[in-house]
A and B are shown apart, each in its own frame.
Chain A
Amino acid sequence: MDIFANIITPQTLDALIKFGINVAIIIIKIAVVLGIGLLHVAYATYFERKVIGHMQVRLGPMRVGPHGLLQPIADGIKLFFKEDIIPAEADKPVFYLAPVIFMAASMINLAVIPFSSNFVIANINVGLLFIFAIAGLGVYGIFISGWASNSKYAFLGGLRSSAQVISYEIAIGLSLVGVMIKAGSLNLTDIVNAQEASRYGMYAIPQIVAFVVFTIAAVAETNRTPFDLPEAESELVAGYFVEYSGFRFALFFLGEYIAMFIMASLAAVCFLGGWTLPWYVTKALPFLTYVPGIVWFLLKVYAFIFFYYWIRATVPRYRYDQLMAIGWKILIPIALANILVTGLVKILV
């Protein structure tokens, strides 16, 4: 101990232990979020198949387990044991890298999402910007995979996807500027707290225009129907990940669903009040305050995800020029006008 005492004073040791405990807590939090998040993603696929099935007057998965409840697990096992095929002409290192980038880019966002009033892995002050930045990185995964597969379908899918994601990122960013102006912060926890204190309890009401723009752009951003041109089955087979199989395909699949969850949580946090309920609801039904905040958060997220599925079951795919026209000629001007009005209201009122 004497030797150590010369190097480390008790104060530094104390600080080190505190640091170690903090790191351990963060690691546990990450494990919890990843574990539960992946479980949610697995069952989101089941939920999707059930919802779309019933909307098409079918039953959806029914065979594995009661009402097909074990279907996602069976799918996972199947994907895990599939042969990993790599095209002979593929650019191998890049081909290996792409799904990892895509998956990681969507998973990192889970770090800044506030699930409950005091449960967020990294409560950083630029949370919203962080999500945009990482979403921008995710595009690399997509077009790298399209390039590295050395297949025309994958290449076209990758091109379309990068064009689409980049254009709609502008709309999504601009639509959230209104929220930033109203909340006066980029920190997601602060945004939720500001919403709870605001007159309507959630920004979806005063920022309805931004909310609609965000919803449309979020569907396009995650490459879902009706904006699923990058993976248009009837034209491009599966788009940028045609050549992927087995677990690499599963990584893309997971990444796509996690991105959906991220967008849904972003909608819940920025527009629907996150884990809080509007004051008029709790005033009318006071017993609801005893329900933990995570329940409301998950309810809002799943409502938004249900909306994704609902749209997918209803609307056919847009043409490519229509997609670009909606993004550049309608959503971006509307979002800009919304920023102007919100700013004026903020200054004048």
Chain B
Amino acid sequence: MTAKELVKKVFFIEILKGMSLTLRRMFSHAVTIQYPTERRHIAPGFRGEHALAKNPEGKAKCVGCGLCATICPSQCIHIFREKGQVTRYEIEVLRCIYCGFCMEVCPYGAVVLTENYEYSDYKKENLYLIKDRLLSNWDKYMGRKKGEVYFRKFWRPMSEDFETPSGQAGFKGKRS
């Protein structure tokens, strides 16, 4: 043991260093956010509760192509169609991992994630989002201008900016 190590051991240098750190931290500002009274700042484009976008006429933009249900890693989106109409569009929120693939893949920007994160519930049924709830979520959290702005900023489908080469198989449908 060298003299330096001995001095370090005898005077508890390492422990004193640690203690000075904790003392300094004691006078620093606490990072705690006291939730119900204080709320965290939510950045725009936060991925929270799901919604189904409506077009200006107030109809659902979704055409039921099934891309979202296909790409969903936890397979929590279920779409049922009858005669070209979407009859049921359901999301099992308890299985969702909020990856946002569904809204990235959607060619119409129809399924989106809103900024609402406070929708915990005591009943499992209430967390099985059906089409009506998803559509009303749009009015609640993305109503009026906000949805439009967000569509341009965050959910703009790739097909808006990039056309598929004509020789290649791709989405050629009519945009609503």
Contacts and interface: CB of A to CB of B under 8 A. Distances in A.
Nearest to A56: B25
A314 interface: yes
B81 to A, nearest CB: 51
B3 interface: no
B26 interface: yes
B34 A314 contact: no
A315 B15 contact: yes
A58 B26 contact: no
Interface in B1-56: 15, 18-19, 21-23, 25-32, 34
Interface in A51-65: 51, 53-59, 62
Given A58-B31, A58-B32, A310 B25 contact: no
Interface in A37-76: 51, 53-59, 62
A124 interface: no
Given A59-B34, A62-B34, A310 B18 contact: no
Contacts of A54: 25-27, 30
Contacts of A170: none
Contact of B30 (A51, A58, A310, A315): A58
Interface residues of A, number: 14
A313 interface: yes
A311 interface: yes
A57 B15 contact: no
A56 B23 CA distance: 10
Nearest to B27: A54
Count chain B CB atoms within 10 A of each CB in A51, A54, A56, A311 and give the residue with the most.
A54
A57 B28 contact: yes
Contact of B25 (A57, A62, A311, A315): A57
Contacts of A56: 25
Contacts of B21: 314
B31 A57 contact: yes
Contact of A55 (B15, B25, B32, B34): B25
Count chain A CB atoms within 10 A of each CB in B15, B22, B28, B29 and give the residue with the most.
B22
B160 to A, nearest CB: 45
A59 B33 CA distance: 9
A56 B32 CA distance: 10
Which 7 A-B pairs give the minimum distances between C-beta atoms? A59-B32, A55-B22, A54-B26, A314-B22, A314-B18, A55-B26, A59-B30
Interface of B: 15, 18-19, 21-23, 25-32, 34
Given A57-B31, A310-B23, 10 more contacts: A53-B30, A54-B30, A55-B22, A55-B25, A56-B25, A57-B30, A58-B30, A314-B15, A314-B18, A315-B18
